[in-house]
Structure 1
Amino acid sequence: MVRHLDGQDFGFDDGRRVSGTGTRAPTDDPGGQEIRLTMRTRTRAETRGAATAGAASTAAAGPPSAYTWHLCTGCDAQRRVELFFLYGDPGIGNRYVLRRPAEPDASAHPARKSVVQR
């Protein structure tokens, strides 16, 4: 289950946030390891706020019914594994880091997202 996840790369600029069901699979591509997260069926769509001016025409087309994210892995300052994807212009390298709440029973809560720029 994907919950309230924004678009990747330039898709982030559209301001769309989607939820749905799908699959995940680890990859070992020449560029490195990542997790491919594919939403096959959208169950909900919402907007995050105003889309950027350049993305207004694609945002008008509506949210995608299916979508694939390529999640990278890395380590935070405490050497804990984190999942992230790049958003906006891929050349800039803005990171969208996925995090779970630090509550004792994290399985009862959806993943919390935060944005970190590098």
Structure 2
Amino acid sequence: MRADGSATVKQLDGQDFDFDRQWRMSGTGTWELTDRPMGWSDGQHVSLSVTRRTSSAWREPADAADEAAVDGDFREPAPDSYTWTLELERRKKGLALYFFYSDPDNRNTYYLEKTR
């Protein structure tokens, strides 16, 4: 994510139930800080939109239950475009960005890391 509002992602998994489809996406797009209500929490969020997918891959199943959930013969690639809603967490060394994956009621968190 750059100061000019542009963004690049590499092998980022889908959010919420899309995570269970096991696709990963790389691409370019934009981001913006927003305070639009998201239903589950108030405050500011980052909207990260990939508007141009450059590649798509599949994540290896973590266990037999994951493998059974998605039959390899029926996998679909990542969508051509996709938008994540990222939460912000204040830490001693700055802000951490994350989103929820799989069943939103479980509140599993997926933290993003910046590559250099």
Give the TM-score normalised by the residue count of structure 1.
Answer: 0.74
Judging by fraction of residues, say which structure has more strand.
Answer: 1
Is 1:97 aligned to residue 104 of structure 2?
no
Deviation readout 1:40-79 (Å, 9 max, x if unpaired): 110011111138334549x623321100000110124x36
Question: Aligned with 2:51: secondary structure?
Answer: strand
- Number of aligned pairs? 100
Question: Aligned with 1:91: secondary structure?
Answer: helix
User: For 2:57, which of 46, 56, 68 is the aligned residue?
Assistant: 46
Change (3 A) 1:34 1:56: farther
2:9 maps to which residue?
Answer: 2
Distance 2:93 2:105 in 1: 26
Is 1:23 aligned to residue 38 of structure 2?
no
Specify every segment of 5 or more residues in structure 2 that has no aligned partner in the other structure, as ranges. Answer: 1-7
Runs of 4+ in 1 over 6 A off after TM superposition: none
Distance 1:17 1:35 in 2: 20
Is 1:67 aligned to residue 67 of structure 2?
no
